[in-house]
Structure 1
Amino acid sequence: MADLALRRLPTDRAAVLRGLQDYGVHAGVAVLVLVNILVTPHFLTGENFRTQAVQVAPVIIAALGMALAIGSEGIDLSVGSVMALATSLVSLYLGYGPWIALLVAVLGGAAVGVANGALVAWVGVQPIVATLALMVGARGLALVLLPQLKDVRDPGMAALGSGTLAGIPYLVLIAAGLALLVGLVVRHTLFGRRLLAIGDSRPAAALAGLPVRRILLLVYVGSGALAALAGVLATARLTASDPTSLGTLMELSAITAVVVGGTPLSGGRVRIGGTVAGAVLIQLLTATLIKHDLPPSWTQIAQAVVIVLAVYAARERGKR
């Protein structure tokens, strides 16, 4: 009996490690919530939860697009700059109405996605290089269109940024709805299955006759459109367009949320629920440090530690 238990120990240990790697992000969120309940004043208040949820909504939306890109064995470093471009376009076209401004901004983000997808799928540029070029270019275009901060004074935008439905902010409902939609697309559609197949092995997917270039183009278009929508929602929440700072380091937050959530950088798998939990983890970590009067540098250090741990976990997952 003792020998049998010893023989089973490695298997049991592997199962524990697998559980920690797959669901550690959820445990991390639970631990942070518990710590804040114990040490952070006024944490268990409706206003605090509403503030945290509204702040994390744009991060979740941008991370959803990043998850699609990483799932295809790519990456999208341009999401933060697309958010900046979106806020500039909102400011320029708001005179035509908030819905026109939103549509133009999302189309602008999709256009950046077309450029990213074309470079990756047709020209053959590595995703990190292609999206880095658009990261620089989109931010530059945003600053050309709107060189400085500008107030956004529009009732429609204000309602989008601060309105609620049954007490739940519109931003939270939009983020939750998009997470559900993207999750369904990845798990239950032909597009999702093809995306994962391409991420698992692009040469094998091409040999199987899959439309690799078209799928990759759609992935980056989707990422750009989602990032632009995140920029519009952030603009509505802040009631200001500021292309100099909006979306800064968002690409790192999005990558961290995706990888911490269990999506491997090697592609072939997308965990939408984990991505949402990863974004929440980052938001809670940042808010906790701020509430305890730690300088912003500590927030950056903490996020760096999370990124390292996430990459290590992804490497260990790949060994299995």
Structure 2
Amino acid sequence: MTETLSGQSPAGRFFDPLDFLARYGTVIALALLLVFNLIFTRNFATLQTLNVNLTQVCTIVIVAVGMTMVIGTGGIDLSVGSIMAISGALAPMIFLGTIVPVGNIYLWVAAAILIAVGAATLLGLFNGWLVAYFRIQPIVATLVLFIAGRGIAQVLTNGNLQVFRVPEFQWIGLGRPLGIPVQVIIMMAIVLLAAWCLRRTVFGRSILATGGNERAAELAGIPVNRVKLAVYAISGFCAGIAGLVVVAINSASDANLVGLGMELDAIAAVAVGGTLLSGGKATIIGTLLGALTIQLVRYTLLANGVPDAAALVVKAAIIVLAVWLQQQGRAR
């Protein structure tokens, strides 16, 4: 029989409600919200409501996947919203012919996506470089692009709204193959790939080892600096994808608004989902559930006549509760 650190077998331990809530609180909260809405919220059990909630949460989840990996190493990324703005500004400039005259629209849409996401990934690498090789605290290192990144996006667009009608590009935000929104497919592909990577690969174990004890990870031969570079690059990549989805949905790119506040939503999803903000433990599926829980809380309050300002207060309370439960679970 498996033994715990204290020498007691799991079967012999007393039931600890705080530990139980720390492990399964997000799932319980999501289930209770679903039951409440099925009973009390009109028109909740419809495909339209499902689509609304899924499409609103998609970009948060995509960004939060990269954030989960960064936080898993003990870091943080405040620049994701600004990187989204840069990605969302670059793509229309390319396929609208602002930078290069447009020829074959499919070719230029593909080029726009690759260049925008590539630039976002490079910006993530820049963050990782500051953290890994200059030993700058992650919150300070990513604050650089948090401030400068949105300014770069505004310079690229001269502060103007870029409106476009390019169905070949808008498909990634508005397309619905077999009735499923394309952004939901993108979100689930990223979630499943990241979850597999974190649980089943050497790289995933290296992320958690780096966040758990960086010095011990170095002594064990883990290339800690390269791991940090990789997770910040992944975070930039995810932010770049999310930025393209947002501008495709809106059929316009606004450097002032794309990704605004996204870093806070992503961190909230990660915290509520059960990833330790101090690093060493991370769960992608938990992040997905955390984002869905926060979105469903907001929807439930709005659908029942509660102002959005109150929904923000409730969201903040949920984050505080999630972090407190994490601390209680670690203390045990």
Q: TM-score range by the shorter chain?
A: over 0.9
Cα distance in 2, alignment partners of residues 200 and 9 from structure 1 = 27
* Aligned twin of 1:85: 86
Structure 1 match to 2:145: 134
Match of 2:235 in 1: 223
CA shift at 1:186, angstroms? 0.7
Counterpart AA for 1:49: L
Quote the Cα distance in structure 2 between the aligned partners of 1:219 and 1:184.
Answer: 15
Q: Which residue of 2 aligns with 1:185?
A: 197
Any gaps of 5 or more consecutive residues in structure 1? Answer: 1-7
Alignment counterpart, residue 260 of structure 2, candidates 248, 253, 262:
248
Is the Cα contact below 8 Å between 1:56 and 1:283 reproduced in 2?
Answer: yes
In structure 2, C-alpha distance between the alignment counterparts of 1:58 and 1:72, rounded to whole Å: 22
Counterpart residue number, 2:312: 300
CA contact (8 A) 1:265 1:314 kept: no
Amino acid at match of 2:294: I
Equivalent residue number for residue 113 of structure 1 = 124
SS in 1 for 2:15: helix
Give the conservation status (yes or no) of the 8 Å contact 1:112–1:138: no
Aligned-partner Cα distance in 2 for 1:165–1:107: 26
2 CA distance for matches of 1:25 and 1:149? Answer: 39
SS at match of 2:275: coil
Supply the AA of the counterpart residue of 1:170. V
What are the Cα deviations for residues 14-48 of structure 1, in whole angstroms up to 9, with x where unaligned? 2x332321121111111112222222221111111
Instruction: Give, in whole Å, the separation in 1 of the partners of 2:275 and 2:264.
Output: 15
Deviation at 1:303, TM superposition (A): 1.5
Q: Which runs of 4+ in 1 moved over 4 A?
A: none
Between 1:303-312 and 1:271-280, the stretch displaced more is 303-312
Aligned to 1:196: 208
Partner of 1:100: 111
Deviation at 1:300, TM superposition (A): 1.7
Partner of 2:247: 235
Partner of 1:42: 43
Q: Which residue of 2 aligns with 1:312?
A: 324
Compute the displacement of 1:195 (Å): 1.0
Task: Output the CA distance in 2 between the equivalents of 1:231 and 1:306.
Answer: 26
2:162 to 136, 139, 150: 150
More helix by share: 1
Of all paired residues, the percent bearing the same amino acid is: 40
Contact 1:98 1:157 in 2 (8 A): yes
Moved more, 261-270 or 18-27: 18-27
By how many angstroms is 1:270 displaced? Answer: 1.2
C-alpha root-mean-square deviation of aligned residues, in Å? 1.7
* The one of 160, 164, 179 aligned to 1:167: 179
Cα distance in 1 for residues equivalent to 2:321 and 2:37: 22
> Aligned letter for 1:246?
V
Contact 1:157–1:239, Cα closer than 8 Å, also in 2 = no
State the alpha-carbon separation in 1 of the partners of residues 290 and 164 from structure 2. 30
Stretch deviating more after TM superposition (293-302 or 211-220)? 293-302
> Residues 259 and 10 (structure 1 numbering): CA distance in 2 closer, same or farther, change over 3 Å?
farther
| Structure 2 unaligned blocks of 5 or more | 1-9, 97-101, 103-107
Opposite residue 169 of structure 2, the aligned amino acid is M
Q: Which residue of 1 aligns with 2:5?
A: none
One-letter amino acid of the counterpart of residue 128, structure 2: G
Distance in 1 separating the partners of 2:12 and 2:261: 40
Given the alignment, which residue of 283, 286, 304 partners 2:298?
A: 286
Say if 2:21 and 2:325, in contact at 8 Å, map to a contact too: no
Tell me how far 1:10 sits from its aligned partner. 10
Deviation at 1:230, TM superposition (A): 0.8
Distance in 2 separating the partners of 1:136 and 1:313:
32
DSSP-derived class of the 1:166 partner: helix
Instruction: Give 1:209 shift.
Output: 2.1
Q: Which residue of 1 is the match for residue 15 of structure 2?
A: 13
The amino acid that maps onto 1:243 is A
Which one-letter code corresponds to 1:60 in the other structure?
Answer: V
- Tell me what 2:7 maps to: none
**Aligned position for 2:29:** 28
Aligned length: 312
| Aligned residue among 203, 208, 218 for 1:206 | 218
Q: CA deviation at 1:185?
A: 0.6
Deviation at 1:119, TM superposition (A): 0.6
Between 240-249 and 123-132, the greater mean CA deviation after superposition: 240-249
